[in-house]
Amino acid sequence: MIGPSSYLGWKIDYASPPGEPALLDPGSMHWRVYKNPIALAVGGVAAVLLEFAEPRIRSGVWDHSTFKTDPIGRAMRTGTAALIGVYGPASAARRVIQGVTHMHERVSGETPDGQAYTALDPELLNWVAATAVYGFVTAYDQFVAPLTEADKTRFYEEAAPVAHLYGATASPGSEAAFMAMLQALSPRFEPHPIVDEFLATIRSSKIAPAAPKALQRTLARAAVSLLPPVVRERLALGPEHDLSSLETLALRAAGAVAEKVAVRGAPPCQASLRLGLPYNFLYQRQSERRRALEARIVSAPRGTASL
C-alpha cells in the first residue's frame, strides 16, 4: 500500500479518515476521468499549452515557479494538487487549495513587453481553471473512451465549486461556454520560445525519466492535437507536431488498458475504500458501480450523485 502523500508540508492520506467525503462525489464524472493516467498526462500538457498562449500566465508560471529548474517536481506537485481536489478528504483538499492560493498571493510581475500581472487576477484564474477542465475531459474523450455531450457538460458543471475555491469567479458550464471564453481571450494569444521549450521538456526524459522517449513524444503531440485550431495557429505549432494514426491507436490502447487496472494503493482506490466502496469501484462495470453506490446510499442517507 502506498502511504500518505506529502504536498505543501501536509500528509495526505486518501484512505483516512474513514467516511470523510471528497469535494466531489464518487459518482461524479471527475472521479471517472481522473483515475486514468493517460487522460491526466495528455490533458495536463494541453492545459499548460492553453495557459502559455496567454502572455501574462506564461510569464507568471515561467518566472515564479520551479518548472525550468525542477520540471519533475513541479509536474508532480501540480498533479498531486489535482488528485487531492478530486479524491482527497474534503478538509485536506481545502488546506492544500488554501496553501496554493497563499503562494499565488506572492506572484506578480510584468511580461517582457510590460504587461502587469498578478496570479490572483480573476480573469487569469478563470482561464487556468477552465483549461484544466477542457484538457482532462477532452483527453479522456479522445484517447480513453468516447463521452456523450451530457457527460462532458456534467464534467464542466462539476468543476465550478473547486475552481471557486482556487479563486476563480467564473467557470464554463459546457464546452461551448469554454470556447466562448477562449474566443474572448484569443486576440492575446501569441507564439513564444517558452512554448517550444516547454514542449521540448515534455518530449525529453526530464518529466518522466522511466517512460520511453517515444511515449513522451507521443504525449506531446497528443496534447497539441487537442488544441482548438485558433490556439494551434496562434502558437505556430505546425505539422511537425501532428499526431500520426499509429500513435493515436497506441495511445488509445494504453488509455483503454489504464481503465481496467486498479492499483490498490493509488488515490482513486484509496479514496473509494475511505468512502466504504470496493477499492476497484471505479474500474467495475457501470451496473456494478451503480449497485455499490446504491448500497452506500442505504448506509449514508445523504446519498451520492447518479452515474
For residue range 156-195, what is the model confidence (pLDDT) as tens digits?
999 999 999 999 999 999 999 999 999 999 999 999 999 9
Q: Considering the domain boundaries, does residue 66 fall inside one?
A: yes
Q: Considering the domain boundaries, does residue 199 fall inside one?
A: yes
Cα–Cα distance for residue pair 101/103, rounded to 1 Å: 5
Write down the pLDDT at residue 307.
36
Percent of the chain past pLDDT 70, that is, above it, reads 87
Please report which confidence band the pLDDT of residue 62 belongs to, taking 50, 70 and 90 as the band edges: confident
Q: Considering the domain boundaries, does residue 138 fall inside one?
A: yes
Q: Considering the domain boundaries, does residue 166 fall inside one?
A: yes
Cα–Cα distance for residue pair 274/25, rounded to 1 Å: 12
For 23, the domain range is 5-299
Give me the count of residues in the chain: 307
The pTM of the full predicted model, rounded to 2 decimals, is 0.91
- Asked if the model's pLDDT at residue 68 lies above 80, the reply is no
Domain count, the chain: 1
Q: Considering the domain boundaries, does residue 14 fall inside one?
A: yes
- Asked if the model's pLDDT at residue 24 lies above 90, the reply is yes
Q: Considering the domain boundaries, does residue 203 fall inside one?
A: yes
Please report which confidence band the pLDDT of residue 207 belongs to, taking 50, 70 and 90 as the band edges: low
- Asked if the model's pLDDT at residue 125 lies above 50, the reply is yes
* Residue 5: C-alpha distances to residues 96, 160, 163 (Å): 12, 25, 22
- Asked if the model's pLDDT at residue 118 lies above 80, the reply is yes
Q: What's the chain's average pLDDT? A: 89
- Could you tell me which of 222, 229, 277, 227 has the C-alpha nearest to residue 253? 222
Q: Considering the domain boundaries, does residue 305 fall inside one?
A: no
Q: Considering the domain boundaries, does residue 165 fall inside one?
A: yes
- Asked if the model's pLDDT at residue 65 lies above 90, the reply is no
* Residue 61: C-alpha distances to residues 78, 124, 217 (Å): 12, 12, 23
Say which DSSP state 10 is in: E
